[in-house]
């Protein structure tokens, strides 16, 4: 779609503010849970804002990659609620309904699957293609949209839309000649794209446990950069063609360089930067690239003190998308909703299909914890709070297997005093995280080879002022206290 826009096609992005109230049954074995109006509003507004940013970045990338400035371009973001809430039910069934054949609708895979499973299907879901088809007719008539692009799971809906446009043209233009009706220049066309998978066939998505969030609130720029830095060599060429505006000859050259020395991961660096630039903008892409170099320029043996100080120097908990003083009440609710939604997803898996690794080194990714969390023997709870383990039990196992590391303060050599060394976190009730505070304010933790998290440590009083409301702070402390009690009980039973 973006490619077509850059080459001069009028492009429309459609929000489903109307059809979301029905729910698309495609590919589902059960009915969707009914969402509240407030949740639907949050989702639609989140997507709209994300699309606004993506289109802005696409226009900037078009300039960067030298697409002709003389090409006339136009794009628009529409919401189908605009016309669906005005739609007369009798008019819909009289005009569009008369052209939708029951046999065709019953033969759809999504319908047959539900009927054969005994789950059944509500008439609202069964009628969903009717409303999506009307969307296309509305845009065909008012915006001249002739091509609809969607994922392969939308094949049935897109075919229904093509038939609907053809039918509506016939009943609305009865005076038109048969020759004009068959004119391919006036017909509707559909284009489906295969669902994204890795070379091993693994799918992407929240349900698959490896969702890649484009919203910066849900996945910061560095994590997004790191995600695609871990792309397997077998996938990188395809991803460069799918996700970037690089010319094909340049991609071929990158892949050739990659094959000569795969360890340099030249193609992955370009891929990661281009994707972050598309999703978050050029400034964030540059920051993510710089942060990656600072964090990994010395390999996995040392960590740059300068990188840590740069991170802490810009890590203002009240800055960025979560800034309470600058955001309206609705915006704050939207931010909290998106973060909660992202947290409800399974742990993100890397594009290469290997183990997860993220290395937040940007201002939005520093985790802040109260000093009271750092007690002798509390490293498992700290790792869990930092997001480096899904559970405390997993953190215990990580430490026991020598897979958890912490940066040791003042461990740089005489020749390179700012290159601090990593050390495996030792197991035991006497190991005190406070002994590993760098510059007396931060822990730098690592899981595996590349999953790094900077943890800012503040007093309990300051923690209450870090942008978290008091109730939430108390809930965190209560949870940490309960975890400490559970851990003590586990140790006692052992």
Q: Is the pLDDT of residue 211 over 80?
A: no
Q: What letter does residue 66 receive in the DSSP assignment?
A: T
Work out how many domains the chain is built from and give that number: 3
Q: Tell whether 183 and 202 lie within a shared domain.
A: no
> Measured between alpha carbons, how far is 355 from 451 in angstroms, rounded to an integer?
10
Q: How confident is the model at residue 450 (pLDDT cuts 50, 70, 90)?
A: confident
Q: Tell whether 255 and 387 lie within a shared domain.
A: no
| CATH code for position 158 | 3.40.50.620
The angle subtended at Cα 319 by Cα 243 and Cα 358, nearest 5°, is 45
Q: Is the pLDDT of residue 432 over 90?
A: yes
The angle subtended at Cα 116 by Cα 125 and Cα 99, nearest 5°, is 45
| CATH code for position 416 | 3.10.290.10
Residue 187: inside a domain: yes
Helices 128-143 & 155-172 angle (0-180, nearest 10): 60
Please report the pLDDT score of residue 436 as a whole number.
Answer: 94
Which residue shows structure tokens 């409301």?
A: 469
**Which of 336, 338, 356 lies closest to 347, judged by CA?**
356
Please report the pLDDT score of residue 205 as a whole number.
Answer: 63
Residue 454: inside a domain: yes
Q: Tell whether 103 and 159 lie within a shared domain.
A: yes
Q: Tell whether 169 and 201 lie within a shared domain.
A: no
- Expressed in angstroms, the distance from the first to the final Cα of the chain is 59
> Measured between alpha carbons, how far is 143 from 130 in angstroms, rounded to an integer?
19
Q: Tell whether 184 and 211 lie within a shared domain.
A: no
Q: Helix, strand or coil for residue 206?
A: coil
End-of-domain residue from the set 126, 160, 193: 193
Section 378-398 average pLDDT: 91
pLDDT digits (tens, 9 = 90+) for 355-372: 333 333 444 468 888 999
Residue 395: inside a domain: yes
pLDDT digits (tens, 9 = 90+) for 124-159: 888 888 899 999 999 999 999 999 999 888 888 898
- Residue 112, domain extent: 1-193
Residue 312: inside a domain: no
Q: Quick check: 49 and 321 in contact, CB under 8 A? A: no
Q: Tell whether 184 and 205 lie within a shared domain.
A: no
Q: How confident is the model at residue 347 (pLDDT cuts 50, 70, 90)?
A: very low
Residue 321: inside a domain: no
Q: Tell whether 119 and 240 lie within a shared domain.
A: no
Please report the pLDDT score of residue 239 as a whole number.
Answer: 93
Q: Quick check: 365 and 317 in contact, CB under 8 A? A: no
Section 74-86 average pLDDT: 94
Q: Tell whether 375 and 432 lie within a shared domain.
A: yes
Residue 493: inside a domain: no
What is the β-pairing status of strands 404-407 and 442-447? antiparallel
End-of-domain residue from the set 168, 193, 218: 193
Please report the pLDDT score of residue 61 as a whole number.
Answer: 94
Residue 347: inside a domain: no
> Measured between alpha carbons, how far is 278 from 60 in angstroms, rounded to an integer?
9
Q: Tell whether 209 and 172 lie within a shared domain.
A: no
Q: Tell whether 110 and 236 lie within a shared domain.
A: no
Angstrom distances, CA of residue 179 to CA of 170, 174, 186, 304, 430: 12, 12, 11, 72, 86
End-of-domain residue from the set 237, 263, 297: 297
Please report the pLDDT score of residue 484 as a whole number.
Answer: 46
Q: Tell whether 26 and 174 lie within a shared domain.
A: yes
DSSP for 322-351 reads: G-TTTS-HHHHHHHHHHHHHHHTSPPP--T
Residue 41: inside a domain: yes
Q: What letter does residue 190 receive in the DSSP assignment?
A: E
> Measured between alpha carbons, how far is 52 from 58 in angstroms, rounded to an integer?
10
> Measured between alpha carbons, how far is 416 from 389 in angstroms, rounded to an integer?
31
Please report the pLDDT score of residue 110 as a whole number.
Answer: 75
Q: How confident is the model at residue 48 (pLDDT cuts 50, 70, 90)?
A: very high
Q: How confident is the model at residue 290 (pLDDT cuts 50, 70, 90)?
A: confident
pLDDT digits (tens, 9 = 90+) for 5-20: 999 999 999 999 988 8
Q: Is the pLDDT of residue 227 over 60?
A: yes
Q: Is the pLDDT of residue 231 over 80?
A: yes
Question: Which residues, other chains included, contact 316 with Cβ-Cβ below 8 Å and sequence gap of 6+?
Answer: 363
| CATH code for position 225 | 1.10.240.10
Q: Tell whether 186 and 100 lie within a shared domain.
A: yes
């Amino acid at each position: 779609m973006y490619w077509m826009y850059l080459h001069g096609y009028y492009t429309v992005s459609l929000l489903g503010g109307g059809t979301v109230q029905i729910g698309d049954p495609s590919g589902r074995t059960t009915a969707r849970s009914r969402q509240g109006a407030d949740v639907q509003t949050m989702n639609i507004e989140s997507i709209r804002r994300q699309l606004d940013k993506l289109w802005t970045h696409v226009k900037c990338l078009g300039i960067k990659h030298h697409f002709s400035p003389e090409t006339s371009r136009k794009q628009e973001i529409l919401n189908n609620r605009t016309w669906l809430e005005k739609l007369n039910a009798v008019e819909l069934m009289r005009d569009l309904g008369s052209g939708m054949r029951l046999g065709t609708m019953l033969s759809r895979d999504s319908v047959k699957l539900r009927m054969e499973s005994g789950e059944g299907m509500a008439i609202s879901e069964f009628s969903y293609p009717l409303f999506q088809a009307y969307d296309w007719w509305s845009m065909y008539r008012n915006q001249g949209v002739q091509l609809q692009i969607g994922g392969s799971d939308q094949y049935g809906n897109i075919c229904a839309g093509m038939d609907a446009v053809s039918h509506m043209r016939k009943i609305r233009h009865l005076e038109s000649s048969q020759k004009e009706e068959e004119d391919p220049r006036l017909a509707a066309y559909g284009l489906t794209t295969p669902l994204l998978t890795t070379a091993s066939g693994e799918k992407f998505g929240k349900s698959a446990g490896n969702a890649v969030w484009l919203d910066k609130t849900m996945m910061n720029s560095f994590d997004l950069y790191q995600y695609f830095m871990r792309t397997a060599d077998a996938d990188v060429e395809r991803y460069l063609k799918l996700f970037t505006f690089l010319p094909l000859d340049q991609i071929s050259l990158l892949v050739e360089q990659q094959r000569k020395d795969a360890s340099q991961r030249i193609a992955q660096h370009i891929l990661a930067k281009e994707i972050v630039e598309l999703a978050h903008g050029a400034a964030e892409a540059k920051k993510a690239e710089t942060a990656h170099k600072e964090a990994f320029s010395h390999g996995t043996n040392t960590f740059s003190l300068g990188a840590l100080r740069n991170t802490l120097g810009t890590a203002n908990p009240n800055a960025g998308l979560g800034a309470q003083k600058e955001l309206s009440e609705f915006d704050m609710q939207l931010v909290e909703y998106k973060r909660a939604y992202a947290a409800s997803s399974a742990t993100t898996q890397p594009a290469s299909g290997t183990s997860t690794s993220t290395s937040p080194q940007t201002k939005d990714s520093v985790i802040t914890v109260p000093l009271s969390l750092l007690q002798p023997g509390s490293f498992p709870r700290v790792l869990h709070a930092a997001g480096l383990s899904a559970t405390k039990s997993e953190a215990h196992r990580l430490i026991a297997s020598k897979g958890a590391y912490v940066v040791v303060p003042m461990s740089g050599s005489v020749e390179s005093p700012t290159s601090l060394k990593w050390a495996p976190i030792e197991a035991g009730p006497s190991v005190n995280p406070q002994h590993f505070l760098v510059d007396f304010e931060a822990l730098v933790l690592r899981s595996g080879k590349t999953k790094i998290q900077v943890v800012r440590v503040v007093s309990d009083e300051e923690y209450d002022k870090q942008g978290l409301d008091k109730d939430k702070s108390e809930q965190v402390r209560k949870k940490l206290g309960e975890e400490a009690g559970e851990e003590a009980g586990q140790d006692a039973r052992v």
